[in-house]
Structure 1
Amino acid sequence: MLRIGEVAKQTGVSVDAIRHYTRKGLLAPSRDSSNRYQLYSGSDVQRVRFILQAKRLGYTLKEINEIVREAGQGRSPCPRVREIIEARIDENRQRVDELNAVQARMETALERWKSMPDGVPIGDSVCLLIEGETE
């Protein structure tokens, strides 16, 4: 059995992250009856590694908890895993398109602004560069 610091060291995550995963129900340490310390098992270390891999793929802790719960009930979480990542890929594509559009607007605005003088705000205006922009 391992104490929280040992799990953190073996997995490369912070003690706070281990505590957070425990509060979220992703880890279920036992208690040492002599000192009430939480004790983690090798399975908990493996679970933290699974969490890290899933997070790297873009899964949220809520989704990871759902996947873990389904596996714990003896069912394959693979169909749900695919469903989640397919939706996430679509969301990411949309965000990338939105970011590319923002990037293009920024570059166009900057090019126009290079030839414009610095203006002093008049009345209720704040910055004439931004206020002069149209879509």
Structure 2
Amino acid sequence: MRVSELARAGGVTAETVRYYTREGWLPSRRDSHNGYQLYDDEVLGRLRLIDCLRCLGLSLKEIKRILEREEQGCGSLLDLDPRLVEKLPLLHSRIRELQALASWVEQAGRPPSPHCYGAEAPCLKQLMAELARQHGRSIEHAPQ
């Protein structure tokens, strides 16, 4: 796949793909006919990993170190960066937030049922209240 296709599939910009490629994080090959950079399907998983690690708050420098050690065959991701265990409360919080958002979108996208007189689609305030509640739960259960 080309840069734009990988970017679209990975949920990032084409410039992000180009940057990661320049850094050597996303292996590519050149199409001999037109010079386009081409990526294997396997690279999409690597791109998603990088994006997930960024969402967890790891710096590009930390991610680079993880990817370099992985290329050298240095164990599991947790062996490469044991601080990821500390990110578990954040991961669980994000999962709950995304589940709440997905549920809200599903409910908002449903046509009103003729059997639910006066029922309205869930409002945005309800979603914000649920997200605040989910965030509060992650703070309450975070390790000290």
Report TM bin, short chain: 0.5 to 0.7
Q: Distance in 2 between matches of 1:36 and 1:54?
A: 31
| Paired residues of 1:25 and 1:65 also in contact (CA < 8 A) | no
Structure ID, larger Rg: 1
Q: How far off its partner does 1:4 sit?
A: 0.5
CA-to-aligned-CA distance 1:114-135 (integer Å, 9 cap, x gap): xxxxxxxxxxxxxxxxxxxxxx
- 1:68 corresponds in structure 2 to 67
Matches within 5 A, 1:98-113: none
Q: Distance in 2 between matches of 1:28 and 1:44?
A: 7
Q: CA RMSD in A?
A: 1.7
- 1:58 corresponds in structure 2 to 57
Instruction: Give the AA of the match of 2:40.
Output: S
Query: Could you state the TM-score of these two structures normalised by the residue count of structure 1?
Result: 0.58
Q: Tell me the SS of whatever aligns to 2:74.
A: coil
Unaligned runs of 5+ in 1: 87-135
Q: Percent identity?
A: 38
Q: How far off its partner does 1:28 sit?
A: 1.5
Residues 1:82 and 2:58 are matched in the alignment: no
Q: Distance in 2 between matches of 1:12 and 1:74?
A: 28
| Paired residues of 2:50 and 2:63 also in contact (CA < 8 A) | yes
Q: How far off its partner does 1:72 sit?
A: 1.2
- The range that moved more, 74-83 or 43-52, is 74-83
Q: 1:48 to 1:40 in 2, by over 3 A?
A: same
| Paired residues of 1:5 and 1:15 also in contact (CA < 8 A) | yes
CA-to-aligned-CA distance 1:89-119 (integer Å, 9 cap, x gap): xxxxxxxxxxxxxxxxxxxxxxxxxxxxxxx
Q: Distance in 1 between matches of 2:9 and 2:83?
A: 31
- 1:35 corresponds in structure 2 to 34
Q: Tell me the SS of whatever aligns to 1:50.
A: helix
| Paired residues of 1:7 and 1:40 also in contact (CA < 8 A) | yes
Q: Distance in 2 between matches of 1:71 and 1:80?
A: 7
Residues 1:47 and 2:22 are matched in the alignment: no
Q: How far off its partner does 1:44 sit?
A: 1.2
Q: How many residues align?
A: 85
Q: How far off its partner does 1:45 sit?
A: 0.8
Q: Distance in 2 between matches of 1:48 and 1:70?
A: 16
Q: Distance in 2 between matches of 1:26 and 1:20?
A: 9
